[in-house]
Every structure is written in C-alpha cells, then in structure tokens.
C-alpha cells in the first residue's frame, strides 16, 4: 500500500539494473528500450521542478525547457519521476555525445526526458507498489500529454523476448531493459531490473594520456582504468585513441590535472606506462569496444563521451550475468529480507560466479548449510548428502573411521550449483582435498577470527604476518574475506601430504604466530581467551573439516560473500563482510580475471626443512 509521507527533499537512490546476456522470457517481465543519456529524477513541488542526477546534483539549470514542461504536467501535485534525458539527432538516433555536446553548449531545448517510473504522487510514496501499478499511475498522469511533448513515457516493447534485442540492435539502439511487473521499487542494483546491451560499452576512469602524433594536437590516446567495488585499487584496462574531435581533445587537455607519477594503487604493466603523462583519476568517460582480451584489456576501443553525471566510485567493469538458464522453484521466496535477496538471486549469482568458483570446488567433498526458512530461520549443516527426488546432485562415497562410507556432494558444473540452491543451500564448504586423492590434502586454510574488541586493521595485520612467515620459509599464500568478521589465509600444496602432516604444520604455523604477540593472538578456543585477541584457527586442516569456499554466500546479515582477494586489494577493504549480494556483481565487473588464478597453477611442496624451521622457532 502507498503511504503518505513528508516531502522528500533529496534524491531517492535510483534503482539500477543488473546486466545479463539474454532477454528474459515470460509474461512477468516488462521490456523497454535501453536509453543512452543522463539518468534524471524530477521532483515537482510547490510550482517548482528540480532535476537531479543519479548523484544528487541539481541540473535544473542545464535543462530549463524540461523543468518548465514538468511544471505543466501537474503544477499542483507533489510528484517524483524517474527517467533518462537524451538528445535526438536528425537520423532518429540519440547518441550520448550529442547530449554531452548540447549540455556543454547550453543548447538543450531539444532534449527529451523519457520517464519510466513514478515514485511519488500527490504526497503518496508509491515505491512499495508493484511496477504494473506504478506504471498505470504514470500513464494516467501523462494521459493528456502530446506525443510531441519534451517529457514522454517510455514505450513498452512487445513481442517474443528472443526477438526484442535483435530488433533493438538493428535499429541502432542501446539494448533492452527488462523489469519484473510485480516488483516494488528497490534502490540500488537488483535482479528485478535487467539490462541487455547491443554491444560492448562501459565507463572507465582516465588515468593518463600519451603525446599526439602527426597532425593530431593535445592528446594521443587516453589511458583507462576500472575500479573494484568498495576499493581504491585501480586496474589498467587499456587505451582509447579514436572517436575524438579537435574540440574534444582541446577540452580534455584543459580538464585533465597532470600529476608527476602514476596514480597510487594503479596496477599497470610496465610496458604500458612508458611515455605517459599521468593525471588525477577523477574523470569518467564512456567507451565502446569490440571485446576484452584474455589479459583483461580493451580491443578496438572508441571514445563515446565524458560522463559528467558519474563519479569514479561508480565505475566498474560490466560482465553479463547468465540469467535465462537459471530456474528454481519458489524463486521469488525472500531469503535475506534485509536486502530483498530472493532464492532466484542466489541461484543467478552462483550461475554467474561458477567459472571462478568451480575450479576451487571440483572434486572436493562438500558440506552444505541449508536454510529452508530463509537465512535467519532454521538452518542446518549437512555433511552426508541424501538423494532427493527431482534434484540430481553428483555424489562420491567417503570412508569413515568406523569402516563405513557415506555420500558427499561433489559438484562439477554451474547446473550443479543451481541444483544446490534448489535445495535451499546458501553456504558451500569444501574439504582440503579432492577425489581421487581424498586422503592427500592439497590446501591449508588458516582462519583468523577476531574476538570482541579487535579492530579490522589488526585482522589484516595478522594475515600479512602469516603471509610473511610463510614466505620466509618458501611458501606462497593467498587471502580471502571470510564473509564474516575475519580473513582466511590459504596455502596450496601439490597433494603429497597426509592429513596428519598438514594438521601438524598448520598447528605449528598458528602457534608460531600466536607466540609472536600473545597479547593479540591465541590458539585457544576458550571464550575467556578471545576478548581483544584474534583466534588463529588451524583446526580446519584435519580430515573432514571444512572452510567456506571461495565465492560462497554466507547466511549472515546482509548476504555477505567469501571473496578471494589479491594482497594489494586487502589494503582497500574496510571489513570482512564488505561484499554483499547483489552488490558483489560490481566487484565481478571490475575484475577481469580471477584474483586467485595463480593459486590454481602454483606447485609447491611442504618439506621437512620447513616444518623443522617452524618447530625450532617455537622451542
């Protein structure tokens, strides 16, 4: 039910679409054209119309004709519209650069504001209503408007979903937006709104430029980077040297603020940084390109305009999420009510992250946390998999100490992951060994679990101490957010150890760390030893013990994810449960490669000398 509420004086954070690769089928979806312009929220109150960008900037003065038109629609009504402003050209297209040029020249009288949602009307907050009802109210508001008005309601695309994208691309349009008709308006990114693009296009941060050659002036090519969600680290993604006019090159040269060295925390191959003028990473640009190379660089990039309406914090590489093949029963069931995360959202996430997750899971016996009543209801930890009618989960038998054997889930495909979600699995925990060598562990996990009163920087310092200690004896390690309060430090091995050998080594490692500073670290499980200390849990390295798998969702407040990181990225993370569904898709977009890809190919063995070195240090 809509509720009457005080007049909102600030921007309502906009609903954002998740990029997918296929237009979804079904009558429950409403399809609209994807527009290439500025996202604008229009607030009308007391004979005043205010146009706000997605970051809350007042752009009313940039579009005076639209402000005047908005007042004419409902001058005495208190309303909030959500839509996108574009600039049509003579050929029927609405390229972003045309809009950008018009704004710069102060010539926006021909701009069109396409409205697709009504958030507030006559003092009523409509966001809790399903889209179908909000759209009906929107059409009623605009029922008397001329088809040539500068403010129009977006058209609903009808027809077979499989043909909609092809038609949009053939007409030179951006793509298709698909929205659930029964969904309320949720600020932030969700799977209620999906976007399907016609080509490769995204926003990037300018970090430098090269000198011009030949007849070109001011700038040769721009160096571009992207940013991981919630982090300061920038990832170099390549250069763009085409699509510029002389005027634009002159404007860019005037706007870019030169600095003496490359931006801090910029990851860039040395060869790509030669002969570059570095700039402050503060300008966001739109770029179209042919594809991503295998090493995460843009190919055949073309400049598409400056994004005045976006900040560098919003920039993240987009990777389409597979959606059409994901199907689970009761998909609309809400699993994390505080985030509005549904069962289908979890299934879609696991399907999308499967290429990164499965290499760490393949062949490993799994223990699973199942929550049939939602993440905050009754959950139970299941080690031995029980066959379920209608759901096929691969299993392998594992021998127990008493000579019996029990089946464990052992998965290999994205479909297997989705099938687990069908059975209300949220968390996936894996053994430290794989079939067929299940008695030969190939991975050590050190769980750094902070007690009450321990701040996050201390947890990060403990992880780095573990890394340095391991490096000192010749072992490389990786780090992962636990999805809770702590961190997991992971060490891969070649799989020649016994469980007893791995357990002994992990205990020696934990004891050595605790001995370095007993006031801050402990290996004791006793609650009395935990306050203001980090518990170094080494006991996840015995036969049958498990740890949360890389990329696993955790059944905790907010739907956090156990995200693998590089050690550089750890410097930028403020807490262990930072990455949440569905926001984690932003991180995936910003990360062209697996941060743990080298772990999978690392060949290192635990030697007697290493064990002796740790043991001697503990004497």
Sign of the dihedral through C-alpha 218, 223, 228, 230? negative
Q: Are 606 and 503 in contact (CB under 8 A)?
A: no
Q: Are 522 and 537 in contact (CB under 8 A)?
A: no
Instruction: Tell the residue number behind the tokens 């990039």, with chain if given.
Output: 301
Query: Which residues fall within 8 angstroms of residue 290, CB to CB, at 6 or more apart?
Result: 200, 299, 300
Instruction: Tell the residue number behind the tokens 């029980």, with chain if given.
Output: 386
Rounded Cα–Cα distance for residues 547 and 201 (Å): 38
Q: Are 369 and 427 in contact (CB under 8 A)?
A: yes
For residue 365 the two structure tokens come to: 């016996």
**φ, ψ dihedrals at 131, nearest 5°:** -55, -40
Catalytic annotation present for 527: no
Candidates 94, 109, 97, 95; CA nearest to 63 is 109
Candidates 372, 324, 332, 326; CA nearest to 348 is 326
Sign of the dihedral through C-alpha 87, 92, 97, 101? negative
Query: Which residues fall within 8 angstroms of residue 113, CB to CB, at 6 or more apart?
Result: 40, 42, 63, 66, 69, 70, 81, 83, 84, 85, 150, 151, 152
Query: CA angle, 591 as apex, 589 and 596 as ends, to 5°?
Result: 140
Q: Are 269 and 236 in contact (CB under 8 A)?
A: yes
Query: Which residues fall within 8 angstroms of residue 70, CB to CB, at 6 or more apart?
Result: 42, 44, 49, 51, 81, 113, 151
For residue 466 the two structure tokens come to: 């573990």
Query: Which residues fall within 8 angstroms of residue 400, CB to CB, at 6 or more apart?
Result: 406
Q: Give the helix/strand (H/E) hosting 218.
A: none
CA within 13 Å, CB half, 373? 5
Q: Are 338 and 557 in contact (CB under 8 A)?
A: yes
Q: Are 564 and 549 in contact (CB under 8 A)?
A: no
Candidates 346, 356, 355; CA nearest to 480 is 356
Q: Are 183 and 199 in contact (CB under 8 A)?
A: no
Query: Which residues fall within 8 angstroms of residue 601, CB to CB, at 6 or more apart?
Result: none
Query: Mind telling me the catalytic residues?
Result: 34
């Amino acid at each position: 039910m809509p509720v009457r509420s005080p007049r909102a004086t600030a921007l309502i954070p906009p609903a954002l679409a998740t990029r997918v690769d296929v237009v979804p089928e079904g009558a429950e979806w409403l399809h609209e054209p994807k527009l290439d312009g500025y996202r604008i929220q229009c607030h009308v109150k007391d004979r005043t119309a205010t146009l706000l960008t997605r970051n809350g900037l007042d752009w009313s003065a940039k579009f005076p004709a639209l402000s005047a038109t908005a007042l004419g629609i409902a001058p005495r009504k208190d309303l909030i519209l959500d839509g996108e402003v574009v600039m049509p050209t003579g050929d029927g297209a609405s390229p972003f650069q045309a809009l950008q040029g018009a704004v710069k020249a102060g010539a926006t009288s021909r701009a069109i504001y396409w409205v697709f949602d009504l958030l507030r009307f006559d003092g009523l907050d409509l966001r809790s209503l399903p889209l179908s009802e909000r759209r009906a109210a929107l059409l009623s508001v605009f029922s008397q408007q001329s088809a040539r008005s500068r403010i129009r309601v977006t058209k609903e695309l009808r027809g077979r979903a499989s043909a909609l994208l092809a038609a949009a691309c053939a007409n030179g349009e951006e793509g298709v937006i698909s929205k659930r008709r029964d969904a309320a308006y949720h600020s932030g990114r969700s799977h209620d709104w999906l976007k399907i693009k016609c080509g490769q296009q995204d926003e990037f941060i300018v970090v430098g430029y090269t000198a011009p050659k030949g007849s070109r002036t001011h700038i040769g090519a721009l160096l571009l980077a992207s940013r991981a969600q919630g982090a300061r680290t920038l990832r170099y993604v390549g250069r763009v040297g085409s699509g510029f006019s002389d005027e634009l090159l002159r404007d860019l040269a005037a706007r870019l603020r030169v600095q003496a060295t490359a931006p801090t925390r910029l990851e860039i191959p040395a060869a790509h940084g030669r002969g570059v003028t570095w700039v402050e990473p503060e300008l966001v640009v739109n770029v179209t390109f042919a594809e991503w190379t295998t090493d995460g660089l843009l190919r055949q990039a073309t400049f598409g305009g400056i994004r005045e309406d976006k900040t560098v914090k919003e920039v993240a590489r987009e990777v389409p999420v597979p959606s059409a093949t994901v199907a689970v029963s009761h998909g609309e069931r809400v699993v994390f009510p505080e985030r509005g995360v549904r069962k289908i959202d979890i299934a879609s996430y696991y399907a999308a992250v499967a290429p990164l997750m499965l290499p760490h899971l393949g062949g490993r016996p799994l223990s699973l946390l199942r929550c049939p009543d939602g993440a905050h209801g009754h959950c139970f930890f299941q080690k031995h998999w029980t066959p379920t009618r209608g759901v096929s989960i691969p299993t392998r038998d594992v021998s127990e100490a008493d000579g019996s054997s029990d089946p464990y889930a052992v998965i290999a495909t994205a479909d297997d992951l989705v099938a687990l979600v069908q059975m209300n699995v949220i968390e996936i925990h894996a053994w430290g060994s794989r079939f067929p060598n299940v008695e030969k562990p190939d991975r050590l996990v050190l769980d750094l679990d902070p007690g009450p009163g321990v701040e996050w920087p201390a947890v990060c310092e403990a992880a780095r101490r573990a890394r340095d200690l391991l490096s000192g004896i010749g072992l490389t390690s990786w780090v992962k957010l636990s999805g809770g309060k702590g961190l997991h430090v992971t060490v891969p091995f070649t799989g020649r150890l016994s469980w007893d050998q791995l357990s002994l080594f992990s205990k020696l490692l934990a004891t050595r760390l605790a001995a370095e500073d007993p006031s801050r670290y402990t290996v004791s499980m006793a609650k009395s030893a935990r306050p203001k200390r980090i518990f170094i849990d080494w006991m996840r390295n015995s036969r049958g013990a498990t740890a949360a798998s890389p990329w696993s969702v955790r059944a905790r407040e907010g739907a956090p994810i156990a995200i693998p990181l590089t050690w550089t990225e750890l410097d930028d993370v403020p807490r262990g449960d930072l990455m949440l569904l569905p926001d984690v898709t932003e991180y995936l977009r910003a990360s062209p490669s697996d941060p743990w890809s080298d772990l999978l190919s690392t060949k290192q063995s635990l030697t007697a000398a290493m064990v002796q070195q740790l043991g001697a240090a503990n004497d």
